Amino acid sequence: SDVRISPLLEDIVDSLKPAAADSQVFVHIDCQPLCVRANPQQMKELLSNLVGNAVKYNHPGGQVWVNIREQDENIVIRVRDNGVGIPQESLDRIFERFYRVDKGRSRKQGGTGLGLSIVKHIVNFYHGSIRVTSELEKGTEFTVMIPVKWEEL
Ligand code: ATP
Ligand code: MG
């Protein structure tokens, strides 16, 4: 089926509003008006996990930038934050089920450590790719590329 990405993203950011307001994190959206041939539930899961993490692992007054656009035969999703960052030695492991950086740090935020393993699973389902770069106390950027049919709205 088809998914309109922009309203979906707005819904997700709306549902994160309470969490974002609590921690005073601001989410910027920059999204091309695209319709994508993909499963809506999967797209929702993918985006809400990445944006949810960027809000959750952030500081008061922190920011999140979400950029979605087409590029050749792909849609490219970028989620960047200026939050707590991920240590280099953990970058390989964050996609494992139940893996969480620094149990102490993340315990108070709640969560199971499943979010990114689900994201990875969805990306693999579409034969896409996911990359992450991060610097401690500077922030994190996830880039997802998914080869799906899309149409400009
Ligand atoms: P869940 O998503 O199941 O609620 P979770 O957020 O802990 O729990 P994942 O989304 O899989 O699990 O993330 C795994 C770990 O990677 C997190 O516990 C956190 O330590 C780290 N992490 C993920 N995204 C970010 C981010 N944007 N900034 C800093 N750390 C992150
Ligand atoms: Mg998560």
For residue range 51-105, list pLDDT tens digits in order: 999 999 999 999 999 999 999 899 999 999 999 999 999 999 999 999 999 766 6
Nearest Cα residue to atom 20 of ligand 1: 101
Q: What's the pLDDT at 111?
A: 87
Q: What's the pLDDT at 106?
A: 60
Complex prediction ipTM:
0.99
Nearest Cα residue to atom 27 of ligand 1: 54
**Beta strands at 63-71 and 74-81: parallel, antiparallel or unpaired:** antiparallel
Pocket lining: 66 vs ligand 1, CB cutoff 6 Å: no
Nearest Cα residue to atom 25 of ligand 1: 53
Pocket lining: 142 vs ligand 1, CB cutoff 6 Å: no
What is the distance in A from the centroid of ligand 2 to the CA of 113? 6
Pocket lining: 101 vs ligand 1, CB cutoff 6 Å: yes
Pocket lining: 112 vs ligand 1, CB cutoff 6 Å: yes
Q: What percent of the chain has pLDDT over 70?
A: 96
Mean pLDDT value of segment 120-128: 98
Among all bound ligands, the one having the nearest atom to the CA of 55 is 1
